[in-house]
Protein backbone atom coordinates (compact mmCIF):
# COMPACT_ATOMS: atom_id res chain seq x y z
CA UNK A 1 0.00 0.00 0.00
CA UNK A 2 2.81 2.42 0.83
CA UNK A 3 4.77 1.83 -2.36
CA UNK A 4 3.97 1.12 -5.98
CA UNK A 5 5.03 -2.32 -7.19
CA UNK A 6 6.99 -3.01 -10.37
CA UNK A 7 3.94 -4.83 -11.69
CA UNK A 8 1.88 -1.66 -11.19
CA UNK A 9 4.47 0.53 -12.92
CA UNK A 10 4.40 -1.76 -15.98
CA UNK A 11 0.60 -1.95 -16.04
CA UNK A 12 0.30 1.84 -15.83
CA UNK A 13 2.86 2.21 -18.65
CA UNK A 14 0.76 -0.11 -20.84
CA UNK A 15 -2.37 1.91 -20.05
CA UNK A 16 -0.60 5.16 -20.93
CA UNK A 17 0.69 3.65 -24.18
CA UNK A 18 -2.93 2.79 -25.04
CA UNK A 19 -4.06 6.36 -24.39
CA UNK A 20 -5.46 5.79 -20.90
CA UNK A 21 -3.45 8.68 -19.42
CA UNK A 22 -5.67 9.24 -16.37
CA UNK A 23 -4.68 5.86 -14.89
CA UNK A 24 -2.25 6.58 -12.03
CA UNK A 25 -1.98 3.20 -10.32
CA UNK A 26 -3.14 -0.40 -10.74
CA UNK A 27 -2.41 -3.18 -8.29
CA UNK A 28 -3.38 -6.83 -8.38
CA UNK A 29 -4.81 -8.82 -5.54
CA UNK A 30 -6.08 -12.25 -4.64
CA UNK A 31 -9.21 -13.16 -2.76
CA UNK A 32 -9.86 -16.43 -1.00
CA UNK A 33 -13.20 -17.93 -0.09
CA UNK A 34 -12.78 -19.99 3.06
CA UNK A 35 -15.70 -22.22 3.92
CA UNK A 36 -16.02 -23.82 7.32
CA UNK A 37 -18.72 -25.78 9.10
CA UNK A 38 -18.22 -23.67 12.24
CA UNK A 39 -17.14 -20.10 12.96
CA UNK A 40 -13.35 -19.72 12.78
CA UNK A 41 -11.66 -17.94 15.66
CA UNK A 42 -9.09 -15.17 15.11
CA UNK A 43 -6.15 -17.47 15.84
CA UNK A 44 -7.14 -20.01 13.23
CA UNK A 45 -7.84 -17.30 10.66
CA UNK A 46 -4.37 -15.90 11.34
CA UNK A 47 -2.78 -19.32 10.79
CA UNK A 48 -4.70 -19.74 7.52
CA UNK A 49 -3.73 -16.31 6.22
CA UNK A 50 -0.07 -16.80 7.22
CA UNK A 51 0.09 -19.71 4.79
CA UNK A 52 -1.58 -17.84 1.94
CA UNK A 53 0.57 -14.75 1.57
CA UNK A 54 4.17 -13.56 1.75
CA UNK A 55 4.51 -11.08 4.63
CA UNK A 56 7.56 -9.50 2.97
CA UNK A 57 5.72 -8.41 -0.17
CA UNK A 58 1.99 -8.76 0.54
CA UNK A 59 -0.52 -7.86 3.23
CA UNK A 60 -4.05 -8.82 4.21
CA UNK A 61 -6.85 -6.32 3.68
CA UNK A 62 -9.86 -7.33 5.79
CA UNK A 63 -12.18 -5.21 3.65
CA UNK A 64 -12.26 -3.84 0.11
CA UNK A 65 -9.94 -0.90 -0.60
CA UNK A 66 -11.60 2.32 -1.70
CA UNK A 67 -8.36 4.22 -2.40
CA UNK A 68 -4.59 3.85 -2.40
CA UNK A 69 -4.34 6.97 -0.21
CA UNK A 70 -2.80 6.07 3.15
CA UNK A 71 -3.37 9.48 4.75
CA UNK A 72 0.33 9.60 5.62
CA UNK A 73 2.42 12.66 4.72
CA UNK A 74 5.98 11.98 3.52
CA UNK A 75 8.79 13.10 5.78
CA UNK A 76 10.89 16.04 4.59
CA UNK A 77 14.01 15.27 2.58
CA UNK A 78 17.37 16.08 4.16
CA UNK A 79 21.04 15.51 3.37
CA UNK A 80 23.28 13.27 5.42
CA UNK A 81 26.94 14.35 5.50
Q: List the domain boundaries for the chain.
A: 6-50
- Determine contact, residues 2/58, Cβ cutoff 8 Å: no
* pTM beyond 0.75, yes or no: no
Residues in the chain where the model's pLDDT stays below 70: 1-2
Report the pLDDT value the prediction gives residue 20, as an integer from 0 to 100.
96
- Determine contact, residues 35/18, Cβ cutoff 8 Å: no
Report the pLDDT value the prediction gives residue 4, as an integer from 0 to 100.
81
Amino acid sequence: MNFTTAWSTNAVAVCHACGLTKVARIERSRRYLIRASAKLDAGLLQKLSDGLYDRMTECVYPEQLRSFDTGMAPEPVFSVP
